[in-house]
Structure 1
Amino acid sequence: MRTTTTAHRVRRTVLSLTAALLMPLGSLVALASPAQAAEQATATYTRVSDWGGGFEGKWTIKNTGDTAINAWTLKWDFPSGTTVGSFWDADITGSGGTYTAKNKSWNGTLAPGASVSFGFNGSGSGSPSACTLNGRPCDGSGGEVPGDKPPTAPGTPTASDITDTTVKLTWSPATDDKGVKNYDVLRDGTRIATVTGTSYTDSGLKPGTSYGYSVRARDTADQTGPAGGTATVRTSGGDGSDPGGEYVNLTYFTEWGVYGRNYHVKNMVTSGAAEKLTHINYAFGNVQGGKCVMGDSFAATDKAYTADQSVDGKADTWDQPLRGNFNQLLKLKKMYPHIKVLWSFGGWTWSGGFADAMKNPAAFAESCHQLVNDPRWKGLFDGIDLDWEYPNACGLSCDTSGPDVIRTMAKAFRDKFGDQLVTAAITADASDGGKIDQADYAGAARYFDWYNVMTYDYFGAWDKAGPTAPHSPLTSYSGIPKQGFTSDAAIRKLKAGGVPADKLLLGIGFYGRGWTGVTQKEPGGTATGAAPGTYEAGIEDYKVLKTRCPAGGTVGGTAYAHCGTEWWSYDTPATIAGKMAYARQQGLGGAFSWEISGDTADGELVTAMHKGLNG
């Protein structure tokens, strides 16, 4: 490893390129301010040193004109397999193999004849190409005036006509003041074609394989714009040997999400989440009149999908027997054979029917088995998830059936469902005399495949005056409002009570809970009520909070943020990594999330769970 002098090390600000790539796409490409007419400059590249799988690269920018340069922006391409890691004396961002370096606040001005250098550490053996400095070729040969902006990013590709070996891509066009000449199609960051239109069919692909596609435009001055969003596409076929990992990585997909949230089964493909998930719980079916019944039949079986909305790029027809989420999930399972799908019944709103249904456990289980395995959606469901909130305790309604009711229900469903999966979502209240103590979860565990332990919603703005506290703490901390309200306390109590560790999944909320009227940054502050949310006061998706109110601290193994008068808590990729390490250390069966639509468009939380569980 190369060493540096102390003076040089002080000047360096070594940043992670990964963090830069998590910035919004629009911030990835910076444009230099318009230069003076006589501005001229060159940029030269040197590979300073190599070590094993890495190297140090250096760019030197020289003002060869007769007027000062007040800012500089250098762009270049690296071939696939060559990447930038840490860097210094410039701010570097990258997308699709194209890198952009912009001056720091202290080295942007160059007098005539002056020069400045910046460097980076990288991996791979490639050399830079397509270099431009303030919009001109790096050799100083002229080119279009720097004020001529490159094209905008084209739209994210839409996949259709997906087969074992081909996929058709279409995208919305880019714009440019001089006109767009053509488009580069990128597969997994490498250019595979240049086309003049807004569609391309890729061929020669492997069956049952996922690919990431994006597109960038080039204008008539041969300036290349930024790549648009990436679409993850999986070819059909394959042998199904693509599991998400040895641990369970489960998410809930909500039936109603196809409406206001505009989240559909295909989003699990385009985000890259599907290849990392092992199980999907479809939420929710209802429990009424002692039976399992469908929730929203239109969303489940009737909603028609166009080709661009469909998992496999094929539109629904008016006369096909099954449409909606169920048909899309069947297509998803065909594309990702390792995924198992369970139908979840109950939930907070629809748990009230369980007590009545348990007056005849065998009939209840029979009704659910018939619905889950209905021939109309044959092959869709691999089992059932029972989300009773809560047996022999209170949720939206109260149950007084006694502690044995959960064990009785579990046995009845195991007897009926046989080898199919039978799971349950259960309380995480580990306080003395709390909900875990009210039911025989250990006795029922012998019949369930696993428990989804709902280790979230411990604290929130239902206590409108506070104190502010994270809704999903992993561990306790000084000042926590109630003992036993942590993930660790719940897991330890369940294990101590006799539930096998590998039948416990740790819960992760893909959302935050927050208060308003808060002046204190740290937890424990007072509040005046619930912070505003998109769908409900006091709750907001992670994908919104990460930019609206970025996390500024951690407590109890989870993150919190204070923005203006609002205070929020939620999990981030970093805190999820810590929680997944805990799940492995405790010997748990894996983890699950509520619920998938709260994740970002590129699935960063699902990815964090997958990486954290499987290394």
Structure 2
Amino acid sequence: MTTAPPSRSTRFRRRATAGLAALLLPLAALVGLATPAEAAGPTATYTRTSDWGTGFEGRWTVTNAGTTSVSSWTVEWDFPSGTAVTSGWDADITGSGTHWTAKNKSWNGTLAPGASVSFGFNGTGPGAPTGCKLNGVSCDGGPVVPGDNPPSAPGTPTANGITNTALTLNWTAATDDKGIKNYDVFRGSTKIATVTGTSYADSGLTAGTAYTYSVKARDTADQVGATSGSLTVSTTGGGGGGNKVKLGYFTNWGTYDRNYHVKNLVTSGTAAKITHINYAFGNVQNGQCTIGDAEADHNRAYTAAQSVDGVADTWDAGALRGNFNQLRKLKQQFPHIKVLWSFGGWTWSGGFPQAVANPTAFANSCYNLVEDPRWADVFDGIDLDWEYPNSCGLSCDTSGPAAFKNMMQAMRAKFGANNLVTAAITADASSGGKIDATDYAGAAQYIDWYNVMTYDFFGAFNADGPTAPHSALTTYSGIPQQGFTSDEAITKLKSKGVPATKLNLGIGFYGRGWTGVTQAAPGGSATGPAPGTYEPGIEDYKVLKTSCPSTGTIAGTAYAKCGSNWWSYDTPSTIAGKMTYVKNQGLGGAFFWEFSGDTTNGELATAISTGLQ
């Protein structure tokens, strides 16, 4: 449920940092008074005062600390793509693309010395303002020196040495025609330090918390330059779940018809709320790991507007492009994120039986591809998605119960302790089912975690029904198949000796549905799959939340009947319940399939992140 935005009556006070004196004088007088720099101008400060999930309230405060009245004011700023003003008050706010301009009303343009005025707005999107100007000059009140250009923007900060309470920022130097004096470091909209070098160690932070940093340079005349790009980074740890795995799958084919790109992880706010990405999929062919889609993976050229950092890909010899380059840029902005290359999946699992006949050679081929010098820095390990060892998926395997363990042992031996080695595994806990067919417990000693695919239990692949939740958390009276629930899968894996901390619960960012249904409650008959945007019987959450809103819950999962269609899917509310289960069971975390099913503001990813704090 969306709550109403907070009252607009709240006002904030900001400390003035400089006077206004020379700003209103004619140019000749300005030149005459320069000694060598002009007096600082008024200031404008920004605060994101509240956020209610689908929107936020922002507020600017303009302060005149000078000795001469200001007769009017204009504040300008840029928002990243995906963030916008929807309504405002106490100023006339207009937008052109990503650039926004606010001009005073007729009754609040004059500011006496020492006076402040605030205006506010409602907006959508996760972004913060950059490039702020007040009456044409820097919003922080820096001086203006005729004939002396202000500094350039420093490079976007990076972070290392990240702990529960501290981290170190680094950035590339700004340039200036007269020389750089120092740098102002900002955490959010607050200046936390001024340093002479290009690094800063921040401390006293809260574990498991996301922080956003930016940097501005000052030249020898104390002029302030443009703001660097922003970096959002999360500290490690956190009580009750802040150190849990929060992993999402990014599909290479999603960049085509779905038009979902790495940049969407930033504009949706999701990048700050996850810990890991599984890039899907690489193929398994002729006993080797191979490229899945060369065009999407590393060849497609992204324009500046499509790119994570606003810089277009190049066709220079040896230049990396495509999703791999975008993931590289994403990690530069969000260095807490680890990326794994996932191989196999439903369609490409048929190559595993040949590959595991020589697990050492298979591991060597995978390592050589993942650690290819062109993109070795992009990936932090490998994920194997074999559907299913010693059992049947799209095809059947008879390699034996030890084949999977042998494969994972070879992978760990080759990738070593400094790379992640993980696997997506079945959640079929039925007696004699897929979990029983393979030695998952024996393989667990070689892996960092299992992504247990606790979804797709039921769906219109059984065209006649009965209708049932495809991602049931617990069993219930009338469930079509015992052993087809998340809890039964987790319980069985733990009983076989797989540590709880190596198990991640799976969440589907989509629903499964039938048509020809007359019964609203689960258990009804059907005539076939409900229509879906890309595939019959399947639809994204972002579509279902409005086209077929939830009408009830069963076994910890939502369901809905709209006309003759019946759908089951997870909502932010049911995800909250599942995240409580993750913490109560001591699991390693949660993962989801896949990013593009979420809303543009990342409702489901937010629910996972919030639930695991």
TM over 0.5: yes
Alignment of 1:332-411 (within 5 A): 332-411=330-409
CA contact (8 A) 2:50 2:57 kept: no
Instruction: Give the 3-state SS of the residue equivalent to 1:158 in structure 2.
Output: coil
- Does residue 1:514 correspond to 2:519, yes or no? no
Closer, same or farther: CA 411–603 of 1 in aligned 2, 3 Å: same
CA contact (8 A) 1:551 1:559 kept: yes
Instruction: Give the 3-state SS of the residue equivalent to 2:435 in structure 1.
Output: helix
CA contact (8 A) 1:342 1:383 kept: yes
Closer, same or farther: CA 276–392 of 1 in aligned 2, 3 Å: same
Distance (whole Å) between structure 2 residues aligned to residue 211 and residue 511 of structure 1: 34
- When normalised by structure 1's length, the TM-score is 0.67
- Does residue 1:158 correspond to 2:53, yes or no? no
- Does residue 1:312 correspond to 2:235, yes or no? no
Structure 1 residue 318 displacement after superposition:
2.1
CA contact (8 A) 1:155 1:171 kept: no
Distance (whole Å) between structure 1 residues aligned to residue 379 and residue 478 of structure 2: 44
Closer, same or farther: CA 192–266 of 1 in aligned 2, 3 Å: closer
Distance (whole Å) between structure 1 residues aligned to residue 333 and residue 457 of structure 2: 37
1:171 aligned to which of 70, 74, 97: 97
Choose 187-196 or 298-307, whichever is displaced more: 187-196
Closer, same or farther: CA 469–348 of 1 in aligned 2, 3 Å: same
4+ long deviations beyond 2 Å: 44-47, 79-85, 93-98, 154-160, 183-197, 200-212, 232-245
Closer, same or farther: CA 338–94 of 1 in aligned 2, 3 Å: closer
Structure 1 residue 171 displacement after superposition:
1.7
CA contact (8 A) 1:159 1:170 kept: no
Instruction: Give the 3-state SS of the residue equivalent to 1:416 in structure 2.
Output: helix
1:278 aligned to which of 275, 280, 288: 275
Which residue does the alignment assign to 2:290?
293
CA contact (8 A) 2:505 2:589 kept: yes
Structure 1 residue 158 displacement after superposition:
2.7
1:96 aligned to which of 57, 63, 80: 57
Distance (whole Å) between structure 2 residues aligned to residue 196 and residue 363 of structure 1: 63
- When normalised by structure 2's length, the TM-score is 0.67
Amino acid at match of 2:449: W
Closer, same or farther: CA 528–333 of 1 in aligned 2, 3 Å: same
CA contact (8 A) 2:507 2:593 kept: yes
- Does residue 1:255 correspond to 2:252, yes or no? yes
Alignment of 1:67-78 (within 5 A): none
Distance (whole Å) between structure 2 residues aligned to residue 611 and residue 401 of structure 1: 41
Which residue does the alignment assign to 1:498?
497
Distance (whole Å) between structure 2 residues aligned to residue 189 and residue 271 of structure 1: 9
Which residue does the alignment assign to 1:331?
329
Cα deviation 1:481-506 (Å, max 9, x = unaligned): 11110000000000001000000000
CA contact (8 A) 1:301 1:324 kept: yes
Closer, same or farther: CA 210–512 of 1 in aligned 2, 3 Å: farther
Which residue does the alignment assign to 2:68?
none
Structure 1 residue 237 displacement after superposition:
7.8
Which residue does the alignment assign to 2:69?
none
Instruction: Give the 3-state SS of the residue equivalent to 1:442 in structure 2.
Output: helix
Structure 1 residue 406 displacement after superposition:
1.1
Closer, same or farther: CA 495–211 of 1 in aligned 2, 3 Å: same
Closer, same or farther: CA 440–170 of 1 in aligned 2, 3 Å: farther
Instruction: Give the 3-state SS of the residue equivalent to 1:268 in structure 2.
Output: helix
Which residue does the alignment assign to 2:480?
481
Distance (whole Å) between structure 1 residues aligned to residue 139 and residue 313 of structure 2: 22
Closer, same or farther: CA 406–206 of 1 in aligned 2, 3 Å: closer
Amino acid at match of 2:511: G
Closer, same or farther: CA 84–312 of 1 in aligned 2, 3 Å: closer
CA contact (8 A) 1:468 1:525 kept: yes
Structure 1 residue 193 displacement after superposition:
9.0
Instruction: Give the 3-state SS of the residue equivalent to 2:531 in structure 1.
Output: coil
Structure 1 residue 424 displacement after superposition:
0.5
Structure 1 residue 519 displacement after superposition:
1.2
Cα deviation 1:281-319 (Å, max 9, x = unaligned): 000000000000001001011111111111111111222
CA contact (8 A) 1:157 1:171 kept: no
Amino acid at match of 1:266: K
2:263 aligned to which of 227, 242, 266: 266
CA contact (8 A) 1:186 1:193 kept: no
Distance (whole Å) between structure 2 residues aligned to residue 275 and residue 84 of structure 1: 15
Amino acid at match of 1:447: Y
Closer, same or farther: CA 155–358 of 1 in aligned 2, 3 Å: same
Cα deviation 1:348-402 (Å, max 9, x = unaligned): 0000000001111100000000000000112111100000000000000000011
Structure 1 residue 427 displacement after superposition:
0.2
CA contact (8 A) 1:159 1:308 kept: no
CA contact (8 A) 2:82 2:127 kept: no
Identity of aligned residues (%): 63
Closer, same or farther: CA 494–383 of 1 in aligned 2, 3 Å: same
Closer, same or farther: CA 545–211 of 1 in aligned 2, 3 Å: farther
Structure 1 residue 242 displacement after superposition:
3.5
Distance (whole Å) between structure 1 residues aligned to residue 231 and residue 385 of structure 2: 34
Structure 1 residue 194 displacement after superposition:
8.5
Distance (whole Å) between structure 2 residues aligned to residue 193 and residue 499 of structure 1: 51
CA contact (8 A) 1:277 1:610 kept: yes
Alignment of 1:126-137 (within 5 A): none
Structure 1 residue 157 displacement after superposition:
4.0
Q: Which runs of 5+ in 1 are unaligned?
A: 1-17, 22-27, 29-43, 48-78, 86-92, 99-125, 128-153, 161-168, 175-182, 213-231
Alignment of 1:422-461 (within 5 A): 422-461=421-460
Which residue does the alignment assign to 2:299?
302
Distance (whole Å) between structure 1 residues aligned to residue 358 and residue 266 of structure 2: 41
- Does residue 1:19 correspond to 2:16, yes or no? no
Distance (whole Å) between structure 1 residues aligned to residue 438 and residue 535 of structure 2: 31
Amino acid at match of 1:460: G
Distance (whole Å) between structure 2 residues aligned to residue 194 and residue 336 of structure 1: 23
Distance (whole Å) between structure 2 residues aligned to residue 170 and residue 444 of structure 1: 56
Closer, same or farther: CA 82–339 of 1 in aligned 2, 3 Å: closer
Closer, same or farther: CA 423–173 of 1 in aligned 2, 3 Å: closer
Amino acid at match of 1:425: A
Closer, same or farther: CA 238–569 of 1 in aligned 2, 3 Å: closer
Instruction: Give the 3-state SS of the residue equivalent to 1:257 in structure 2.
Output: helix
Closer, same or farther: CA 587–45 of 1 in aligned 2, 3 Å: closer
Distance (whole Å) between structure 2 residues aligned to residue 351 and residue 84 of structure 1: 43
Distance (whole Å) between structure 2 residues aligned to residue 278 and residue 370 of structure 1: 25
Q: How many residues align?
A: 454
Structure 1 residue 518 displacement after superposition:
0.9
Distance (whole Å) between structure 1 residues aligned to residue 488 and residue 51 of structure 2: 43
Instruction: Give the 3-state SS of the residue equivalent to 2:266 in structure 1.
Output: helix
Q: Which runs of 5+ in 2 are unaligned?
A: 12-45, 62-76, 84-94, 101-118, 141-152, 159-185, 190-210, 215-228
Which residue does the alignment assign to 2:585?
586
Amino acid at match of 2:371: N
Distance (whole Å) between structure 1 residues aligned to residue 10 and residue 96 of structure 2: 39
CA contact (8 A) 1:514 1:569 kept: yes
Closer, same or farther: CA 191–385 of 1 in aligned 2, 3 Å: closer
Distance (whole Å) between structure 1 residues aligned to residue 381 and residue 131 of structure 2: 44
Cα deviation 1:508-540 (Å, max 9, x = unaligned): 000000011111111011111100000000000
Amino acid at match of 1:158: S
